[in-house]
Amino acid sequence: MDDAPQLYLVTPPEIDAGFADRLAAVLDAHPVACIRLDLATRDADRVTRAADLCREVAHRFDVPLVVTDHVALVDPLGLDGVHLTDPRSVRKLRADWGPDPIIGAFCGTSRHEGMAAGEAGADYVAFGPAGATPLGMGDRAAPDLFAWWSEMIELPVVAEGALDAATIAALAQATDFIALGEEIWRADDPVACLSELTAAFR
C-alpha cells in the first residue's frame, strides 16, 4: 500500500539495559521513521542514560530520535529533536532553533491546537488517544479528525494512544504515522506483535 502510514516508535516509560537489544530487533525487522524517548521520570540523569542507550541503536539504523519535552537535552545529547506535550512553546523554540531540529507537538483531540502548532512551525502534530482507553474515559481522537486533517492539512499527523489492530486498520488511509509504544513493548515478542498490529497495511 503506497500511502500506508509510517511507523513511529515510543519507548516504554521505563527502560533497562536489555531494551537496546529489543529496540534493535524491531528496527532490524521493520522500517521505522522516528523514535521518541518518552520516560515516566523527569530526572535528567536517567533521561540522559536512556538517551545514550537509544541513540546508539537509533542512529545505527539511521532513525531519528526525539525526546519528550526535555528541550535542554537535545543539543548536548546529540538528539534529533523534541516532542512537546504542550504545543504553546513551538513558536519560540522554532525561532531559537531554526529549521533543522525536529519539533513535534501533541495536540490531544484539538483540531484548533493542531493547526496553531503547524502555523507556529511544528514538523508534525500528534492526536490521541486514537483508540479506546480501558475505562472509556475522556476524549478520543476519532477517525474523522484524522480523515479531515489528511484531506485539508499538509502537515504530517501522528495517531497514537491505545491502538489495536482494528483501530490501526481504520486509520491506515487517514494518518501519516502510527505511533506504537507499550502496545508492543509489553508483548513477549515486540517484533511479532508489531507485525500483527500493522498487518492491515503491510
* Tens-place pLDDT, residues 35-64: 999 999 999 999 999 999 999 999 999 999
Intra-chain end-to-end CA distance of the chain, in Å: 7
Beta-strand pair 177-180/157-160:
parallel
Query: Is 134:182 a contact under the CB 8 Å cutoff?
Result: no
Mean pLDDT estimate for the chain: 95
Sorting pLDDT into bands at 50, 70 and 90, what band is 1?
very low
Q: Residue 133's pLDDT is what? A: 75
Q: Which is nearest to 158 in space by CA: 15, 38, 14, 72?
A: 38
**Identity at 146, one-letter amino acid code:** F
Q: Residue 200's pLDDT is what? A: 84
Q: Residue 161's pLDDT is what? A: 96
Domain ranges of the chain: 6-201
Domain 6-201, second-level architecture: Alpha-Beta Barrel (3.20)
Q: What H or E segment, with its residue span, contains residue 191? A: helix 190-197
What mean pLDDT comes out for the span 148-163?
Answer: 96
Q: Is the pLDDT of residue 22 over 60?
A: yes
Q: What is the pLDDT of residues 61-87, one digit of tens each?
A: 999 999 999 999 999 999 999 999 999
Q: Which residues contact 46 (CB under 8 A, 6 or more apart)?
A: 39
Q: What is the pLDDT of residues 5-17, one digit of tens each?
A: 999 999 999 999 8
Give the bridge partners for 126, in sequence order.
106, 158
